[in-house]
Every structure is written in structure tokens, then in C-alpha cells.
Amino acid sequence: MEKEKNMPEKKISTGAISATIWQNEAKTQKGDSTVYRTVTLQRTYKDKDNKWQHTNSMRANDLPKAALVLNKAYEYIVLRDNNPQTELSEEDIVI
């Protein structure tokens, strides 16, 4: 049996910097199912061969954009956890 690939729940980007939100499921020590979210941060760039690459390393100039997408990701997760039945749109996320 092949395990189903976990697809991103949400991707928030500005320029080359993006935060991807993943929904994960796990079992508690009592055996109950629980859902939690994780966030990955990455920068996209073109290498010397003009091919797109991804890295988790940020340059000093990337840090303000990284802070922005991480704040948006945090806001999305908090709003989602407070309203789990509601489908959130971009308009729902305000800083």
C-alpha cells in the first residue's frame, strides 16, 4: 500500500521568498487522532545555468520578506485553528 503524498495546505509568497503550510496528522499517547500544522520557509533563485533552485538559506535582504510571509503563515494558522469549519481566503488574512 502506497502512502498518500501530503499536499501543501497553503503557500504564501512575496518575491522569491515563500512559506508553505502543511497539515499533518498524528496519534496522541492516548491513541486519539490530532491535527497539527508545520511551516517550511524557502527562497527560490536561478543558478548559473539559469535553472530554478530552492534553498532554506536567507540573505540579509531576504529577512524582511521572510518575516512577512512567516507572520502571514502564523496568522493563517491562528485563524484556521479558531475557525476550523471556515474556508479562509486571502481577504481573511490581514496584518
pLDDT digits (tens, 9 = 90+) for 31-59: 888 888 999 999 999 999 999 999 999 99
pTM, entire model? 0.76
SS3 60: helix
Question: What pLDDT sits at residue 84?
Answer: 60
Q: How many residues in total does the chain contain? A: 95
For the chain, give every domain's residue range. 8-92
Across the range 66-87, mean pLDDT stands at: 85
